């Protein structure tokens, strides 16, 4: 599933081509999207394109807090083009025109598994349901310490909870925990302040590095940035998807376990399960 770096990459790629454009038409090719109120967006100007967590938000000039919220889910992609062409697995076309020319820019929503969503949402209400942005100035060790307090969740599950921290998914949670030498099953409340400081720094470091490399393209999710270019961060992954391969630090085989139905990859030697790993 696209996570924060992938959605941020898409936002940066499409922003120069669609920001300020007038929405001329929305052509829906999938019955699952038929409830989208096309009349609400026709003739509207795209005033801002923003990533929030794993959502891509299109703010419209005359709609207040309402706008288009796109979630790519497991296999969604956005493809930029200047020609309308209906193809298999394209669920929707957003057709726009630049204000100062006759240039048509089209955004095609491609989704093999049909799990992605294209919705008319109240962004203020959406904001209330979402956790803190891990790349924001408010994201700090002391803030994390307060979030972890009294929880009974494993740290890996907590990091994936979008109502607590928005944007982190399976790939980057696994990578940040490995860099921090924290076992994914550790109770989040058991982490010491020094461990939380290390984790906060590594969460931001791995996300920034992934954004610099335009996200991760791996397995059945060949992520693209909208221009047909795949991400490169898969070349920097240390544990995710590397079951049975040697740990890059100690050589111990990487293990994979299921936590709440999601695969977690870790090094059993470098990442400790004990409550106070610094002792003994």
Judge whether 262 counts as a catalytic residue: yes
CA–CA separation, 81 and 90 (whole Å): 13
Number of domains composing the chain = 2
Under 8 Å CB-to-CB from 159, ≥6 apart: which residues?
Answer: 165, 168, 173, 176, 177, 203
Does some domain include residue 260? yes
Does some domain include residue 134? no
* Predicted local confidence at residue 224, as pLDDT: 52
Judge whether 3 counts as a catalytic residue: yes
Residue 232 structure tokens: 């490169």
CA–CA separation, 117 and 12 (whole Å): 20
User: If we measure between CA atoms, which residue out of 87, 96, 1 comes closest to residue 41?
Assistant: 96
**Taking 70 as the threshold, does the pLDDT of residue 280 lie above it?**
no
Encode burial over 5-19: b for 16+ CB neighbours within 10 A, e otherwise.
bbbbbbbebbeebbb
Per-residue pLDDT, averaged over 204-221, amounts to: 86
Quote the domain boundaries for residue 69: 4-128
Question: What band does 1 get if pLDDT is binned at 50, 70 and 90?
Answer: confident
Tell me which DSSP letter residue 216 carries: -
**Taking 50 as the threshold, does the pLDDT of residue 40 lie above it?**
yes
My answer on whether 19 and 115 are in the same domain is: yes
Does some domain include residue 135? no
Q: Pick the catalytic residue: 8, 51, 52, 54?
A: 54
* Predicted local confidence at residue 202, as pLDDT: 98
Does some domain include residue 278? no
My answer on whether 189 and 166 are in the same domain is: yes
**Taking 90 as the threshold, does the pLDDT of residue 218 lie above it?**
no
**H/E segment holding residue 141:** helix 141-148
Contact 112, 89 (CB under 8 A): yes
Per-residue pLDDT, averaged over 248-276, amounts to: 91
Among candidate residues 106, 128, 150, the one where a domain is terminated: 128
My answer on whether 32 and 112 are in the same domain is: yes
My answer on whether 147 and 262 are in the same domain is: yes
My answer on whether 168 and 119 are in the same domain is: no
**Taking 60 as the threshold, does the pLDDT of residue 223 lie above it?**
no
Judge whether 2 counts as a catalytic residue: yes
**Taking 80 as the threshold, does the pLDDT of residue 38 lie above it?**
yes
Among candidate residues 100, 128, 156, the one where a domain is terminated: 128
Residue 120 structure tokens: 């008319």
Does some domain include residue 275? no
**Taking 90 as the threshold, does the pLDDT of residue 275 lie above it?**
no
Q: Pick the catalytic residue: 12, 15, 32, 262?
A: 262
Count the Cβ atoms, other than its own, within 10 Å of residue 52. Answer: 18
Per-residue pLDDT, averaged over 206-226, amounts to: 76
CA–CA separation, 147 and 272 (whole Å): 21
Does some domain include residue 279? no
pLDDT averaged over every residue in the chain? 92
My answer on whether 87 and 148 are in the same domain is: no
* Predicted local confidence at residue 182, as pLDDT: 98
* Predicted local confidence at residue 84, as pLDDT: 85
pLDDT in tens, 138-162: 999 999 999 999 899 999 999 999 9
* Predicted local confidence at residue 279, as pLDDT: 38
Among candidate residues 77, 104, 128, the one where a domain is terminated: 128
Does some domain include residue 168? yes
* Predicted local confidence at residue 142, as pLDDT: 96
My answer on whether 122 and 159 are in the same domain is: no
pLDDT in tens, 80-117: 998 888 889 999 999 999 988 888 999 999 999 999 99
How do the residues of the chain divide into helix, strand and coil, expressed in percent and rounded to 5? 30, 30, 45
My answer on whether 187 and 217 are in the same domain is: yes
* Predicted local confidence at residue 121, as pLDDT: 98
- We report the CATH number of the domain holding residue 36 as 3.20.190.10
pLDDT in tens, 195-212: 999 999 999 999 999 999
**H/E segment holding residue 194:** helix 193-212
My answer on whether 118 and 150 are in the same domain is: no
CA–CA separation, 45 and 55 (whole Å): 19
Does some domain include residue 274? no
- We report the CATH number of the domain holding residue 261 as 1.10.8.50
Judge whether 175 counts as a catalytic residue: no
Q: Pick the catalytic residue: 2, 5, 154, 184?
A: 2
């Amino acid at each position: 599933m696209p996570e924060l770096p992938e959605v941020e990459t898409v936002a940066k790629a499409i922003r120069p081509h669609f920001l300020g454009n007038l929405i001329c038409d929305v052509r829906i090719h999938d019955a699952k999207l038929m409830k989208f109120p096309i009349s609400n967006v026709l003739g509207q100007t795209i005033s801002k394109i923003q990533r929030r967590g794993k959502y891509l938000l299109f703010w419209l000039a005359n709609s207040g807090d309402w706008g288009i919220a796109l979630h790519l889910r497991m296999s969604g992609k956005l493809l930029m083009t200047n020609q309308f062409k209906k193809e298999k697995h394209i669920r929707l076309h957003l057709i726009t025109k630049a204000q100062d020319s006759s240039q048509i820019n089209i955004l095609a929503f491609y989704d093999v598994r049909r799990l992605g969503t294209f919705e008319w949402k109240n962004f203020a209400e959406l904001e209330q349901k979402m956790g803190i942005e891990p790349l924001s100035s408010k994201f700090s060790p002391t803030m994390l310490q307060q979030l972890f307090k009294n929880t009974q969740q494993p740290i890996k599950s907590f990091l994936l909870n979008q109502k607590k921290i928005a944007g982190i998914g399976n790939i980057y949670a696994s990578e940040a925990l490995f860099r921090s030498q924290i076992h994914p099953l550790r109770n989040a409340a058991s982490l010491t302040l020094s461990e939380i400081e290390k984790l906060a720094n590594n969460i931001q470091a791995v996300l920034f590095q992934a954004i610099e490399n335009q996200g991760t393209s791996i397995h059945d999710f060949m992520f693209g940035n909208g221009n047909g270019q795949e991400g490169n961060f898969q070349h920097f992954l240390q544990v995710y998807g590397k079951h049975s391969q040697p740990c890059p630090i100690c050589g111990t085989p990487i293990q994979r376990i299921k936590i709440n139905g999601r695969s977690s990859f870790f090094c059993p030697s470098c990442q400790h399960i004990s409550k106070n790993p610094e002792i003994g």
